[in-house]
C-alpha cells in the first residue's frame, strides 16, 4: 500500500502507511463500546392497543447499520504514534503487532463496499445527496450492518402485517442521502419484502434523499443551524470535553492501556505534549489520553467489521478501561448532540423538522391511505440522538451542568443504549372506527414511554392519543380529556398474535402483571 502524508509537530516527521484497526467484540457488549455497539435485538411481547383500534400506520427513523471507520483518522494517528515509538525503540513486545493489525484493518476499510447491492440501488432509483456517490472505501456499511437492517425490516413486516398486505398501502422510504444511510434503507426494504412478499410490485424500491429532516445538523436552511454551529465550536463545549478527559480515572486508564504497548518513558513524553501528531485533514493527537482514545476507537469498530477482517485489539483493554473511554465518548456525544446542558435546548432543538414530519405524515398518510401506510427513514447518530432528546425518550430525559464531568454518575444516558448502530425509533399508529388515533413508541424495538409530560391513555399504558403527542411535544392545543381514549364499541379488538418485541426500558413497569388490566400485555 502507498504511504500517505503525515505530520508530527515538535518532532522529526514520520510517514504513516495507510492502515486501520479494529477490536474483537466482548461477548456481553454492554455499554463499553459506546455508540459503536452493534445492534442487539431481544424478543418479547407488546401491549395490545385498546379495544376497537387497528393498525394503520408506522413512522420509523433508524440510524444506519454497522459501518467501517468513517475516515482515515483514528488509524492514521495510532500508526503515527506507533511509528515514532518504534523509531525510538519504545515499543513493547505486546505492542509489536499494532502496526500489522492496523494495516490489515485499513486495507479492509479501503475496500469496503457491496457493489452488487449498489447496482440494484442505482437501477431502482435510490437517490444520494449532492456530492455523494457509491464507491469503495471508508464509511461504508459492513455485512453486519446490512444484516441488521434486513432483520429490522422483516420484523416490522411481521409486527404490522395489516399495513403491508398489498392492498392500497403506501410506503415512503427516505434517507439522509449519505451512502451508508441509503444502503441501510435499501437493505431494510429487502427484509420487509421478505417478510411481506405480497408487497412486491406494490411499492417502489426508490429512496428519496431528505436532508432537511434527516441531516438537519448540516442543513443551512434549518432555523437553528447557525446557533447550533456556534455551539459546536464553543469554548463551553470544548472545555467540557477537555475536563472529562482530564479526570484522574481517564488519565489512569490511558496510561494503563498505553503501557501495554509503549515504554513508560515514551508515554511520559507523550503526556508532556512533546509531539503533536496530525493527519492531513487536521485531526490531532497531542497527549497520552488522545493516543489511548484513538486506539479505543479502533477497538470499538472491530465488531462491526467482523465479516471483513479479523483483528484483536481487545488484548489492550480490560472491560473497566473500555468503560472509562466509553464514558468519555458518551459525554461528548451527549453534550454535543443532546440532551445537552441544563437551561438550554440548543443541542437538540434542531431535530424539530423530523418531529414535525412524523406528525404530519401520520395525518396525511392515514387520510390518503386508510388501509395502511408507513414512512421509513434512515439517517445517523446525529439524527437519532437529538430526536430522542426532543421527544423525551427513555435515557434522554435529564440534562447536566458543565461541572458534571463524572458523566456516567451524573446521568443514565448511555450511547450503547440510546444510539447503537442501527438504533431506531418507531411509532406504531392505531385507529378506531370513529377515527381516533393512538400511538405506541418502540425504542430499539422495545415499547417505551414518552417524556415531556406526555400523558398515556391510562396508568401503565404505552399508548398515547395522537392529539396528546401533538400537545406535549409541540404545544398544540388539546380538548379537555384529549389524552383519553373515547368510549367506543365500533369494531373488534386488535388481534393478539405474538410479535417480535421486548419490554419497556423505561420507568413504566414492564412486567405483564404490572400493566393495567384493560390493556393486555401481549398482542400486536
More confident residue, 501 or 179: 179
The pLDDT value recorded for residue 217 is: 97
Q: What is the pLDDT of residues 87-110, one digit of tens each?
A: 999 999 999 999 999 999 999 999
pLDDT band at 13 (very low <50, low <70, confident <90, very high): very low
Cβ atoms of 249 and 414 closer than 8 Å = no
* Residue 426 included in any domain: no
By C-alpha distance, which of 190, 196, 176 is closest to 124? 190
Alpha carbon 415 to its chain centroid, in Å, reads: 8
Report the pLDDT averaged over residues 461-477: 98
User: Residue 277 has which C-alpha cell?
Assistant: 501528531
The pLDDT value recorded for residue 229 is: 97
Q: Which residues pair with 322 in a beta bridge?
A: none
* Residue 409 included in any domain: no
The pLDDT value recorded for residue 498 is: 36
pLDDT band at 10 (very low <50, low <70, confident <90, very high): very low
Q: What is the pLDDT of residues 18-39, one digit of tens each?
A: 222 233 233 344 899 999 999 9
The pLDDT value recorded for residue 507 is: 29
* Residue 155 included in any domain: no
Dihedral angle sign, alpha carbons of residues 24, 28, 34, 38:
positive
pLDDT band at 488 (very low <50, low <70, confident <90, very high): low
Q: Exposed, middle or buried: residue 344 (CB in 10 Å: 0-12, 13-18, 19+)? A: middle
Question: Is pLDDT of 309 > 90?
Answer: yes
* Residue 297 included in any domain: yes
More confident residue, 11 or 207: 207
Q: What is the pTM of this model?
A: 0.89
* Residue 10 included in any domain: yes
Domain encompassing residue 317 = 1-30+69-111+228-337
* Residue 21 included in any domain: yes
* Residue 462 included in any domain: no
Element (DSSP H or E) covering residue 463 = strand 463-465
More confident residue, 174 or 10: 174
Domain count, the chain: 1
The pLDDT value recorded for residue 264 is: 98
More confident residue, 61 or 16: 61
Q: What is the pLDDT of residues 395-437, one digit of tens each?
A: 999 999 999 999 999 999 999 999 999 999 999 999 999 999 9
Question: Is pLDDT of 496 > 90?
Answer: no
Amino acid at each position: 500500500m502507498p504511504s500517505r502524508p503525515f505530520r508530527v509537530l515538535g518532532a522529526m516527521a514520520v510517514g504513516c502507511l495507510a492502515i486501520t484497526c479494529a477490536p474483537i467484540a466482548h461477548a456481553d457488549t454492554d455499554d463499553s463500546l459506546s455508540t459503536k455497539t452493534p445492534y442487539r435485538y431481544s424478543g418479547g411481547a407488546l401491549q395490545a392497543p385498546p379495544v376497537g383500534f387497528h393498525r394503520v400506520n408506522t413512522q420509523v427513523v433508524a440510524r444506519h447499520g454497522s459501518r467501517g471507520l468513517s475516515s482515515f483518522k483514528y488509524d492514521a494517528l495510532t500508526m503515527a504514534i506507533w511509528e515514532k515509538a518504534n523509531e525510538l525503540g519504545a515499543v513493547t513486545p505486546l505492542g509489536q503487532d499494532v502496526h500489522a493489525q492496523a494495516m490489515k484493518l485499513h486495507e479492509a476499510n479501503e475496500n469496503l463496499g457491496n457493489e452488487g447491492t449498489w447496482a440494484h440501488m442505482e437501477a431502482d432509483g435510490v437517490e444520494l445527496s449532492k456530492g455523494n456517490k457509491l464507491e469503495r472505501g471508508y464509511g461504508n456499511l459492513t455485512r453486519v450492518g446490512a444484516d441488521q437492517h434486513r432483520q429490522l425490516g422483516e420484523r416490522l413486516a411481521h409486527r404490522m402485517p395489516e399495513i403491508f398486505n398489498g392492498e392500497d398501502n403506501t410506503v415512503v422510504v427516505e434517507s439522509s442521502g449519505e451512502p451508508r444511510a441509503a444502503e441501510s434503507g435499501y437493505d431494510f426494504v429487502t427484509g420487509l419484502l421478505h417478510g411481506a412478499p405480497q408487497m412486491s410490485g406494490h411499492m417502489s424500491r426508490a429512496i428519496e434523499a431528505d436532508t432537511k429532516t434527516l441531516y438537519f445538523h448540516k442543513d443551512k436552511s434549518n432555523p437553528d443551524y447557525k446557533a447550533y454551529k456556534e455551539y459546536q465550536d464553543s469554548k463551553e463545549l470544548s472545555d467540557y470535553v477537555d475536563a472529562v478527559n482530564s479526570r484522574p480515572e481517564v488519565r489512569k486508564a490511558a496510561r494503563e492501556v498505553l503501557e501495554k504497548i509503549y515504554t513508560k518513558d515514551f508515554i511520559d513524553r507523550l503526556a508532556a505534549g512533546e509531539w503533536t501528531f496530525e493527519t492531513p485533514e487536521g485531526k490531532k493527537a497531542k497527549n497520552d489520553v488522545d493516543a489511548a482514545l484513538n486506539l479505543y476507537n479502533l477497538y470499538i469498530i472491530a465488531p462491526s467489521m467482523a465479516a471483513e477482517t479479523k483483528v484483536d485489539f481487545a488484548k489492550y483493554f480490560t472491560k473497566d478501561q473500555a468503560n472509562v473511554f466509553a464514558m468519555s465518548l458518551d459525554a461528548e456525544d451527549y453534550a454535543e448532540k443532546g440532551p445537552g446542558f441544563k437551561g438550554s435546548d440548543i443541542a437538540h432543538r434542531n431535530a424539530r423538522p423530523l418531529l414535525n414530519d412524523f406528525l404530519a405524515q401520520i395525518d396525511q398518510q392515514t387520510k390518503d391511505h386508510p388501509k395502511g401506510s408507513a414512512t421509513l427513514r434512515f439517517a445517523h447518530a446525529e439524527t437519532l440522538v437529538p430526536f430522542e432528546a426532543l421527544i423525551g425518550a427513555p435515557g434522554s430525559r435529564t440534562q447536566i451542568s458543565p461541572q458534571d464531568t463524572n458523566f456516567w454518575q451524573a446521568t443514565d444516558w448511555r450511547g450503547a443504549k440510546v444510539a447503537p448502530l442501527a438504533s431506531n425509533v418507531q411509532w406504531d399508529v392505531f385507529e378506531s372506527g370513529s377515527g381516533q388515533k393512538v400511538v405506541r413508541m418502540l425504542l430499539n424495538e422495545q415499547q417505551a414511554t414518552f417524556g415531556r409530560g406526555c400523558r398515556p391513555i391510562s396508568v401503565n399504558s404505552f399508548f398515547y392519543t395522537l392529539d396528546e403527542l401533538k400537545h406535549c411535544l409541540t404545544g398544540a392545543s388539546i380538548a379537555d380529556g384529549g389524552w383519553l381514549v373515547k368510549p367506543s364499541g365500533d369494531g373488534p379488538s386488535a388481534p393478539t398474535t405474538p410479535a417480535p418485541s421486548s419490554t419497556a426500558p423505561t420507568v413504566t413497569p414492564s412486567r405483564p402483571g404490572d400493566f393495567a388490566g384493560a390493556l393486555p400485555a401481549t398482542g400486536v
